[in-house]
Amino acid sequence: MRLVVVGNGMAGARLVSEVRARDPRMPVTVFGAEQGRPYNRVLLSNVLAGQARPDQLGLVDLSWYDTHRVRAVLGGAVAWIDRESRAVHTADGRREPYDLLVLATGSEPIVPPIPGVERAIPFRTLDDCDRIVKTAADSRRAVVVGGGLLGVEAARGLAGRGLPVTLLHLAGHLMERQLDPEAGLVLGETLAALGVETRTGVSAAAVERDGVRLADGELVEGDLVVLACGVRPLTGLAAEAGLEVRRGVVVDDELRTDDPSIFAIGECAEHDGTVYGLVAPAWEQAAVAADVITGGKSRYRGSRLVTRLKASSVELAAMGETHLTDEHAEVVRFSHRARGTYRKLVIRDDRLVGAILLGDTDAVGTLTQLYDRGGPVPGDRAGLLFPGPASAARADSPTLMPDAARVCHCNNVTKGQIRACWEAGAKDVAGVAAATRATTGCGTCREAVAGIVGWLCEQEGVPA
């Protein structure tokens, strides 16, 4: 069975490694539109903020392909799919036959069709990040267009480099997909204290030499303009090949399209009406598709999302159905704007179905476990928002954390799996990461993994 993978980003690269882990002999060819090795796009905001180097983002070394007998065609975009003869064709005339094909084409940044937009820099790829950093070095002020997750991270990163930043957002509050209006307001006030001015409910009409012209005629000054206006699934290849496409490439529980020899995963795929834009679902899909491709029986049932903002001095976690109101669910809130704190629980049928934690996130461990497991919520709702020493220990202490608790959400790694690989010889965080991939996604679980490893070492008298 010849496997061809179109796309060598976070979804495609993971799919290839998952297949190779299950079948060392299957012929595999992967096409990547970018020239270099696959990298962790989630951590681009860390590069922008100066907290990571570009060379620290690589997912695998290029030598990995040769070592694992994977043929990688980098910088060679696939132009069309011939479903009748089962082959993909590149723009430069290359033809690659397949028995099974996986589309992991990802998404592209949305660029608003406004005058002068070519002066702005989208924030999507490593090359984009490099351009932004170089331009920022000679800039006096920056404007970021788009106040979703990526836009907030970009604005905070540029402010951390000492640039005054104005963040423009069309919606009425920041991160409206994950946050309710009050949480968006508190987030904006938190960013203001860090050097980011937020303007919501405004529309960019043009990008000019001196900044962004708003629809009402006002000029927001800035000699660096960054676009973070969202992304759009790349579905052109699939649509031109006659596959079913709605918002994304439609797939079933095996991640197959309506052509059983073609799969789709990651940001280009639409499963049960949902297109996921985060890395954890893409990696879950990669594991399921790899299992099916190599003869397994796995099925994908959707993903439970926990969004973590990666911005220095801003702690934010959001999960599930955060927009439900008191008419449809039990909603428990606490807001202290002066301290930049907002906490919200959404409970339905005595189950936690959503939560927002902004500011101190000491409750995130307990809430994430409740959300993941879908178990009944304790009667003391206030105790969930403000965990005392006992409940905090249950969530955060390696001693009391159950083995089933998910520690790394990007890679779906539990405490029990970390314990097992430690017992198998991985005695430090690097070893655990190599064995389980924990910490290699967004990186927010690193402290928890280090705590578990340190506790295990202490229990056995092993030097940490």
Instruction: Please give the pLDDT value at position 399.
Output: 59
Q: Over range 417-436, report the average pLDDT.
A: 83
pLDDT for position 35:
84
Alpha helices in 228-378 (DSSP H): 236-240, 279-293, 364-373
| Mean pLDDT, range 426-441, rounded to an integer | 83
Confidence of residue 411 (pLDDT cuts 50, 70, 90): confident
pLDDT digits (tens, 9 = 90+) for 443-459: 777 878 888 888 788 77
Lowest mean pLDDT among 122-126, 222-226, 337-341, 448-452: 448-452
Q: How much is the pLDDT for 98?
A: 98
Query: Strand 330-336 and strand 341-348: pairing?
Result: antiparallel
- Dihedral (CA of 140, 146, 150, 156) sign: positive
Pseudo-torsion of CA 181, 183, 188, 189, nearest 10°? 120
Helical residues (DSSP H) of 232-357, grouped into ranges: 236-240, 279-293
Q: What is the mean pLDDT of the chain?
A: 91
Residue 248 belongs to what H/E stretch? none
**Separation CA 65–CA 48 (nearest Å):** 29
Q: Decide if 184 contacts 316 (C-beta within 8 A).
A: no
* pLDDT average, residue stretch 39-57: 89
Q: What is the pLDDT of residue 391?
A: 43
Owner of token pair 């002999």: 25
Token digits for 163? Answer: 């640039």
User: 117-229 — its CATH code?
Assistant: 3.50.50.60
Give residue 393's pLDDT: 41
Considering the segment(s) 3-108+232-293 as one domain, its CATH architecture is 3-Layer(bba) Sandwich (3.50)
Helix H or strand E encompassing 183: helix 181-192
What was the pLDDT predicted at 358? Answer: 95
* Number of residues in the chain: 464
Taking only the tens place, the pLDDT of each residue in 150-201 is: 999 999 999 999 999 999 999 999 999 999 999 999 999 999 999 999 999 9
Locate all alpha helices (DSSP H) within 224-293, ordered by sequence: 236-240, 279-293
pLDDT tens, 254-302? 999 999 999 999 999 999 999 998 899 999 999 999 999 999 999 999 9
Share of the chain above pLDDT 70, in %: 96
> For residue range 222-240, what is the model confidence (pLDDT) as tens digits?
999 999 999 999 999 999 9
Say how far apart CA 382 and CA 377 lie, in whole Å. Answer: 11
Q: What is the 3-state secondary structure (H, E, C) of 359-420?
A: CCCCCHHHHHHHHHHCCECCCCHHHHHCCCHHHHHHHHCCCCCCCCCEEECCCCEEHHHHHH
Domain spans of the chain, in order of start: 3-108+232-293, 117-229
Q: Do domains 3-108+232-293 and 117-229 have the same CATH topology?
A: yes
> Tens digit of pLDDT for each residue in 352-406?
999 999 997 777 888 888 898 888 998 888 888 887 654 444 445 665 677 777 7
**DSSP-derived secondary structure letter, 438:** T
Q: What is the pLDDT of residue 395?
A: 44
Which tens digits make up the pLDDT trace of 79-100? 999 999 999 999 889 999 999 9
Tell me whether strands 269-271 and 330-336 are parallel, antiparallel or unpaired: unpaired
